[in-house]
Amino acid sequence: MASLEKAIQKIGPLDEEAMKAARERQDELTKPQGSLGRLEELSIKVAGIRGEATPLEHKAIIVMAADHGVVAEGVSLFPQEVTAQMVQNFLHGGAGINVLARHVGARVVVVDMGVAAELETHPHLISRKVALGTRNMMRGPAMSRAEAISAVEAGIEIMEREFEKGLDIVGTGDMGIANTTPSSAITAAITGEAVAEVTGRGTGIGDSQLAHKVRVIEETLKVNQPDPNDGLDVLAKVGGFEIGGLVGVMIGAAAHRIPIVIDGFVSGAAALIATRMAPKLSDFLIAAHLSAEIGHEVALKHLGLKPILDLRMRLGEGTGAALAIFIIEAAVRTLAEMATFSGAGVSEAEKRRVDY
Amino acid sequence: MASLEKAIQKIGPLDEEAMKAARERQDELTKPQGSLGRLEELSIKVAGIRGEATPLEHKAIIVMAADHGVVAEGVSLFPQEVTAQMVQNFLHGGAGINVLARHVGARVVVVDMGVAAELETHPHLISRKVALGTRNMMRGPAMSRAEAISAVEAGIEIMEREFEKGLDIVGTGDMGIANTTPSSAITAAITGEAVAEVTGRGTGIGDSQLAHKVRVIEETLKVNQPDPNDGLDVLAKVGGFEIGGLVGVMIGAAAHRIPIVIDGFVSGAAALIATRMAPKLSDFLIAAHLSAEIGHEVALKHLGLKPILDLRMRLGEGTGAALAIFIIEAAVRTLAEMATFSGAGVSEAEKRRVDY
């Protein structure tokens, strides 16, 4: 657990000086004060996280894949084999995240955290398989505490590698058939919200299957009794390997002052665990979008985050994060590249900012 | 009026075949059906507009600038000279729209439709000045009907030029100190909503100036009595030259089956006029974002459009349109580039789409 504790200790506060400078510059740019709305807020937040105003040159989406024993309870519309098939799709560039990452100029980092199949080696596949899928959490813990720590530390280590390659902003992504089920369990456990309020249709299940999914999660929580104040306990009992990996990515990114763009519901569940383990990490999170999966709004509210986009997406893989990274980049570029009133010879307003 | 009538007559219906093909392909892509949310809708709409699935290679933001006689009533925070200064800023690449257009790979087309100053010639400035600003519409019509037609026809002609250069999608942008005042007047006149419900703080005016602005617009509507069923009458009496130019851009774009991404409140007002003049045009409009300017939501509702983004922006210039073009491009690219279930060897869901 050495690398985990070390990374958590390394997480510092936001850079107040950099935020002040960004805020002041925003008010000197050739536009009515505040008129770039959330772009202004985002530019200031990113300045606080990074402590510098350099361009976001290196971007990555880290997509972590794993399987879930609870799939045996019939909670998903898709068969488990799809997780491994989609990993191949990621490696061949045909998935949604491949297209959107190309569109924003981000690299896609594909990690096998625990797919329930032996995957062929591939030059772009990082294998950190903790096990061949979690155990069925409705019958007992999804994984041991040691496995949970391994998953998180693998995420931290992968973030180290990516940081060394050059990384200015990171998006989180997930793939794992049935993984909205542990995500709902985590969200219910940590926020205290009723299971039915945080459980959605995942890939698109109908009403009766949804009711069944709710019962499975309720039973899971009853059987495991995760401690909401112990992030690792929640992860081990009702989590997943890709979720643990994403927790590690978040901790590692915050330790290196890299803005973390969390994707949808599964990433949100990982963020709930990560902020339990490292409360200071929450300053480094940016919510990409509001997923159509109902539990996501609950998770974001708990995290105190306001999503950038609301496009009724619910695909995962980091697709929402990729689009949001583009908006964040736009925010950073307007701050860096726009002319100032004095520089461009534009007259200023007669009065200063009013509440809008 | 020949070119105006000809362009309006050229506007056809959406291509239902292309939309059907896009819809079917969406359901074969490697993702749960419907999981790309609004991206799927946008890809289908663009297919219907363009009738083909080629990439959006050529993008332009057309920024039209003009001044407004009603500025004399003290409705803005900025002096009128800022319109001309901002045109220079556009030409030097320092404005918000320049940064965001670079970010999305769109060209910026700057048009002087009626700035109240003689601008120096510049290789990138298109001059279609109808007059040195409109007249003060609180005292009578902002422009003559002939001037309104000239403004619209200039917009159509500029769209022809851009179309010939190559254009796959267009965003509309505006610059004109005080131009939220005519935009509110247009929105009130066409939607029938009360002036106070469609009048906002523009560049950031305080409460008392806002109350004054509402009175100015109410008086303007009383003095001019624009006919809400006659778009040109509304434009002439309570509009602006850049607004007329944008009406022409929209008509010209629809005639060429080019998706029109309308920016914020001023573009929304232009769209209200354009759809009065050419009802079939509304199928070709895509709302970029929800402006913080309160009248914009009313205008979008009247147009039956749902904004893509909500970033509390209120800058104009086409800044919201630029960001939205990126999202639309993402939608088109996912449809074109994602692998299908059969192509990628991914198992399909056990059941088909459910209502989500």
Mean pLDDT per 10-residue interval, chain B, length 356 residues:
91 98 97 97 98 91 98 95 97 98 98 97 97 98 98 98 98 98 98 98 94 98 98 98 98 98 98 98 98 97 98 97 98 98 89 49
Structural domain harbouring B265: 59-330
**Position A53 pLDDT exceeds 90:** no
pLDDT for res B356: 43
pLDDT for res B352: 52
Domain co-membership, A28 together with A161:
no
> Do B344 and A30 lie within an 8 Å CB cutoff?
no
Considering CB atoms only, which of B89, B329, B346 is closest to A103?
A: B329
**Are B108 and B59 in contact, with CB atoms under 8 Å apart?**
no
Domain co-membership, B256 together with B156:
yes
Considering CB atoms only, which of B92, B95, B351 is closest to A77?
A: B351
Domain co-membership, A260 together with A344:
no
Q: What is the mean pLDDT of chain A?
A: 96
**Position A289 pLDDT exceeds 90:** yes
Catalytic pick among A317, A329, A337, A348: A317
Domain co-membership, B284 together with B177:
yes
pLDDT for res A310: 98
**Position A99 pLDDT exceeds 50:** yes
CATH code for the domain of A346: 1.10.1610.10
Residue A323, CB half-sphere, CA atoms under 13 Å: how many? 35
C-alpha–C-alpha distance, residues B215 and B239, integer Å: 17
With beta carbons under 8 A apart, name residues in chain B contacting A343: 94
Domain co-membership, A79 together with A172:
yes
Domain co-membership, B230 together with B290:
yes
pLDDT for res B53: 73
What does the pLDDT look like over A184-227, one tens digit per residue?
A: 999 999 999 999 999 999 989 999 999 999 999 999 999 999 99
Domain co-membership, B101 together with B39:
no
- CA distances (Å), A184 to each of A75, A267, A285, B71, B141, in order? 12, 11, 20, 55, 60
pLDDT for res B87: 98
With beta carbons under 8 A apart, name residues in chain B contacting A294: none
**Position A340 pLDDT exceeds 60:** yes
Domain co-membership, B36 together with B101:
no
Domains identified in chain B, total number: 2
Domain co-membership, B102 together with B40:
no
Give the residue on A whose Cα is nearest the Cα of B39: A311
Domain co-membership, A45 together with A152:
no
C-alpha–C-alpha distance, residues A312 and A306, integer Å: 15
> Do A327 and B329 lie within an 8 Å CB cutoff?
no
Burial (Cβ within 10 Å: 0-12, 13-18, ≥19) of residue A115: buried
The letter for the amino acid at A115 is V
Residues 6+ apart with CB under 8 A from A253: A159, A170, A259, A260, A284
pLDDT for res B348: 86
CATH code for the domain of B323: 3.40.50.10210
C-alpha–C-alpha distance, residues A186 and A181, integer Å: 9
With beta carbons under 8 A apart, name residues in chain B contacting A349: 77-78, 203-204
**Position A356 pLDDT exceeds 70:** no
Q: Over pLDDT 70: what percentage of chain A?
A: 98
Average pLDDT for residues A10-32, to the nearest whole number?
97
Our answer to whether residue A162 is catalytic in this structure is: no
Considering CB atoms only, which of A29, A96, A314 is closest to B334?
A: A96
Domain co-membership, A275 together with A343:
no
pLDDT for res B138: 98
Cα A45 from chain centroid? 17
**Position A234 pLDDT exceeds 80:** yes
**pTM for the predicted model, two decimal places:** 0.97
Domain co-membership, A210 together with A258:
yes
Q: Over pLDDT 90: what percentage of chain A?
A: 96
Shortest alpha-carbon distance between residue A98 and chain B (Å)? 8
With beta carbons under 8 A apart, name residues in chain B contacting A288: none
